[in-house]
Amino acid sequence: MKANNGLGNIPERDEWETPKELFNILDDQYQFDFDCCARENNRKALYFSNDFLKWYDNNYFDRRRYKCWMNPPFSKASDMFKHFFKSVKHGVAIYRCDNFETKIWQDIIFPNCDWIFIPKGRVVYEGMNGNGSRFPSALIGVGVDTPIGLEGQAFKFSTIDDMKNARKLKGNCDKK
Domain assignment present for residue 5? The answer is no
Q: Judge whether residue 171 has pLDDT over 80.
A: no
165 band by pLDDT with thresholds 50, 70 and 90: low
Q: What is the pLDDT of residues 102-154, one digit of tens each?
A: 999 999 999 999 999 999 988 877 766 656 667 889 999 999 999 999 999 99
Summarize pLDDT for 1-18 with one digit per residue, the tens. Answer: 444 444 455 555 556 778
Terminal Cα distance for the chain, rounded: 44
The CATH number of residue 105's host domain is: 3.40.50
DSSP state letter for 92: E
Please indicate whether residue 51 or residue 163 has the higher confidence score (pLDDT): 51
- pLDDT of 61 over the 80 cut: no
Q: Alpha-carbon torsion 42, 43, 46, 49, what sign?
A: negative
pLDDT value of residue 2: 41
For residue 24, the surrounding DSSP H or E stretch is helix 20-30
Structural domain contains residue 110: yes
Give pLDDT, residue 175: 33
Mean pLDDT of the chain: 79
**Among 158, 161, 123, which Cα is nearest to 139's?**
123
Give exposure, 60-77, as e/b (b: 16+ Cβ within 10 Å): ebebeebbbbbbbbbebb
Any domain includes 96: yes
Q: What domain range is 156 assigned to?
A: 11-174
pLDDT tens per residue, range 18-32? 889 999 999 999 999
The pLDDT confidence band at residue 55, using thresholds 50, 70 and 90, is: confident
pLDDT at site 18: 87
Is 112 among the domain residues? yes
Q: State the pLDDT at residue 6.
A: 44
The answer to whether position 36 is within a domain reads yes
Q: Is residue 29 part of a domain?
A: yes
Q: Is residue 1 part of a domain?
A: no
Look at residue 156 and tell me whether its pLDDT is greater than 70. yes
Give the Å distances, CA to CA, from 160 to 6, 9, 144, 156, 171. Answer: 34, 28, 16, 11, 17
In the sheet with 91-96, reading across from the earlier edge strand, the strands are 47-48, 34-35, 68-70, 91-96, 137-142, 115-119, 152-156
Residue 80 is predicted with a pLDDT of 94
pTM: 0.79
For residue range 66-75, list pLDDT tens digits in order: 899 999 988 8
Q: What's the number of domains the chain is made of?
A: 1
Three-class DSSP category at 52: helix
Task: Give domain status of residue 117, yes or no.
Answer: yes
